[in-house]
């Protein structure tokens, strides 16, 4: 075939122009990347060689109603190593092992691990961190951090709660308000070369952390401290298993104190009690800790006993099935269907009006009131008073009421509920319902949170809580206050009297479940002043030894509490 010079030349020209076009496109692309996209790729290159180290933000403090700090921060250090930057591994292992009190083998594993950064130990005391920093060991980083610190140790431990190693809330208010208390972590950015060695001339960039918001709460450290002292005193003298004391403003639901002894040390919450079997497995140990951390005032339910007669009386008065002047006869028992239910006074109280029946805590009378109401109407009041719902207290893990279904209630069940047995509620539920009955009929929400304030001192949020008005009338509420004042003045609550003050209240002695074990719960709810309640308190003593009646065990606790805190709260003595 003859050689075609023209065809060959055309192919060369096509190839030439094609390559030229490709070259032009590549040149344009290169110019675009080097000029218009230069900043973007410079930033990407920097990021590729930047190493990040977190700077923990200070967690917001928790302060009581008077501004006293209950939860604070303590400066600690985090010690880390960067493998590629270490020049003398043996020296690093030796120093860190000695200063951090860690086995050399443990430190060596971290030093020899190929990683961008390996944490050796966190929550190191600042003094130790400063000493390590002074060695100036290449590849060893000492970053300041924060650890939660509780100035008063075990005070209000089950209310405040504590945080974990990551500074996140684990228990109590630390969990509920975790989002507000947490700040925004900062960052240290250092530039490294391809080998991971820091480029000293590039220095470092810092993104500063932002501290969390402070939380102001209604708890009063002084009241909490005194209530805790009384609780431990009662626990010791009565050889009780546990003692709980709740103190609240019945008008708005602000909680002044919530005590559950024994408490635990907030600065060392994972310590097991002395004498714990060292052979316990991890699950058993965790179960034991969970039990130690339980807040009995909100996490546990119990049969309230005669303190619940406050509810039956209010429902009876509100519905009109009973008046203060209604008369009854107590022979020491009452027959309900096929059951004989005894009064605590087996010889009977004889003839008495409703006020004296309340003063005497007479079971047959309250059963009669319950039966007059009937299952359906009693259940309606139970729900109207808010007893079927949780209180909404701003603590995690609140338990709900354990109550018969209405369709499963007969006269016997109604009778036992009427004087506070065969169902269970939490202490916070009892105190909230009693508060709502004596404060004019407004169902309040118990709470601790008042407001959160940012690091600059600005109010970020003022917390508000639901109020349900009219669960009883003002008239019924006033009558209940008068009757409960008589209980303390001349009835079973005499040991709750405080000279110079008008006190109202109700005692209770209930059995723990299962019945027949000889274990009792003694309790007393008291409020002052009786005509205009500004403070209400509940004391519960679990399984006291010897005398176990609420009027003799728990009422004196509230008396001593009120003797101390009523003047402190500025509540004036009563002038007759």
| Catalytic center residues | 306
**Which residues does residue 206 pair with via DSSP β-bridges, in sequence order?**
188
Q: What CA–CA distance (Å, rounded) separates 508 from 305?
A: 5
CA distances from 352 to 259, 357, 361, 571 (A): 38, 6, 11, 34
Q: By C-alpha distance, which of 156, 282, 304 is closest to 218?
A: 156
CA distances from 205 to 57, 119, 184, 199 (A): 17, 21, 17, 13
- The answer to whether the beta carbons of residues 314 and 480 sit under 8 Å apart is yes
Q: What CA–CA distance (Å, rounded) separates 557 from 538?
A: 9
- The answer to whether the beta carbons of residues 352 and 328 sit under 8 Å apart is yes
Q: What CA–CA distance (Å, rounded) separates 195 from 1?
A: 63
Q: What angle do CA 520, 358, 471 make, to 5 degrees?
A: 95
Distance of CA 277 to the CA centre of its chain: 29
Query: Given the DSSP bridges, would you call strands 459-462 and 255-261 parallel, antiparallel or unpaired?
Result: unpaired
- The answer to whether the beta carbons of residues 145 and 187 sit under 8 Å apart is no
Q: Describe the chain by its helix, strand, coil percentages, rounded to 5.
A: 40, 25, 40
Enumerate residues 6+ apart whose C-beta is below 8 A from 158: 171, 172, 258, 260, 263, 264, 293, 294, 295, 296, 297
CA distances from 433 to 261, 312, 524, 530 (A): 24, 12, 14, 16
Q: What CA–CA distance (Å, rounded) separates 557 from 562?
A: 9
Residue keyed to tokens 């950064």: 117
Q: What CA–CA distance (Å, rounded) separates 317 from 478?
A: 11
Q: What CA–CA distance (Å, rounded) separates 196 from 456?
A: 39
Q: Where is 329: in which H helix or E strand?
A: strand 327-330
- DSSP code string of 407-466: GG--HHHHHHHHTT-SSBB-HHHHHHHHHHHHTTS-B---B-EEEEE-TTS-EEEE----
Q: What CA–CA distance (Å, rounded) separates 422 from 291?
A: 25
First to last CA, the chain: 137
Q: HEC states along 278-328?
A: CCCCHHHHHHHHHHHHCCHHHHCCECCHHHHHHHHHHHHHHHCCCCCCCEE
């Amino acid at each position: 075939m003859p050689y075609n010079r023209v065809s060959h030349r055309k192919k060369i020209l096509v190839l030439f122009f094609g390559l030229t076009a490709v070259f032009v496109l590549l040149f344009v692309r290169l110019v675009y990347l080097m000029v218009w996209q230069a900043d973007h790729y410079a930033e990407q290159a920097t990021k590729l060689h930047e190493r990040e180290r977190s700077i923990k933000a200070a967690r917001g403090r928790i302060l009581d109603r008077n501004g006293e700090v209950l939860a604070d921060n303590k400066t600690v250090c985090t010690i880390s190593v960067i493998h590629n930057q270490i020049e003398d591994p043996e020296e690093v292992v030796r120093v860190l092992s000695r200063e951090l009190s860690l086995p050399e083998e443990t430190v060596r594993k971290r030093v020899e691990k190929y990683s961008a950064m390996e944490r050796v130990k966190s929550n190191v005391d600042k003094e130790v961190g400063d000493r390590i920093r002074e060695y100036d060991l290449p590849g060893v980083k000492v970053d300041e951090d924060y650890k939660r610190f509780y100035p008063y140790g075990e005070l209000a431990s089950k209310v405040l709660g504590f945080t974990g190693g990551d500074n996140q809330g684990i228990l109590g208010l630390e969990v509920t308000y975790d989002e507000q208390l947490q700040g925004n972590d900062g960052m240290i950015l250092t530039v490294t070369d391809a080998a991971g060695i820091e480029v000293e001339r590039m220095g470092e960039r810092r993104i500063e952390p932002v501290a969390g918001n402070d939380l102001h709460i209604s708890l009063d450290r002084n009241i909490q401290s005194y209530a805790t002292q009384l609780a431990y005193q009662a626990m010791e003298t009565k050889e009780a298993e546990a003692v709980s004391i709740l103190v609240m403003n019945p008008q708005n639901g602000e909680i002044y104190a919530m005590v559950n002894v024994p408490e635990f040390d907030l600065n060392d919450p994972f310590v097991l009690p002395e004498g714990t079997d060292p052979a316990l497995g991890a699950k058993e140990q965790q179960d034991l800790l969970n039990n130690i951390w339980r807040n009995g005032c909100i996490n546990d339910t119990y049969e309230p006993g005669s303190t619940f007669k406050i509810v039956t009386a209010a429902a009876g008065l509100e519905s009109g099935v009973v008046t203060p002047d209604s008369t009854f006869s107590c022979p020491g028992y009452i027959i309900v269907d096929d059951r004989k239910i005894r009064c605590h006074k087996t010889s009977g109280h004889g003839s008495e009006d409703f006020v004296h029946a309340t003063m005497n805590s007479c079971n047959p009378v309250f059963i009669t009131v319950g039966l007059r109401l009937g299952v359906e109407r009693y259940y309606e009041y139970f729900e109207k008073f808010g007893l079927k719902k949780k209180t909404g207290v701003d603590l995690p893990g609140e338990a709900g009421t354990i109550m018969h279904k209405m369709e499963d209630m007969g006269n016997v069940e109604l009778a036992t509920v009427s004087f506070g047995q065969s169902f269970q509620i939490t202490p916070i539920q009892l105190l909230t319902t009693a508060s709502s009955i004596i404060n004019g009929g407004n169902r309040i929400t118990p709470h601790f949170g008042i407001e959160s304030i940012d690091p600059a001192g600005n109010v970020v949020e003022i917390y508000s809580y639901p109020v349900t008005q009219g669960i009883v009338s003002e008239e019924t509420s006033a009558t209940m206050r008068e009757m409960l004042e008589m209980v303390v003045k001349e009835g079973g609550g005499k040991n709750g009297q405080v000279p110079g003050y008008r006190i109202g209240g109700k005692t209770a002695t209930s059995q723990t479940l299962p019945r027949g074990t000889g274990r009792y719960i003694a309790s007393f709810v008291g409020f002052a002043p009786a005509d205009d309640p500004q403070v209400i308190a509940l004391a519960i003593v679990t399984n006291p030894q010897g005398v176990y009646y609420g009027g003799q065990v728990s009422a004196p606790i509230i008396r001593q509490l009120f003797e101390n805190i009523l003047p402190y709260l500025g509540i004036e003595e009563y002038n007759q």
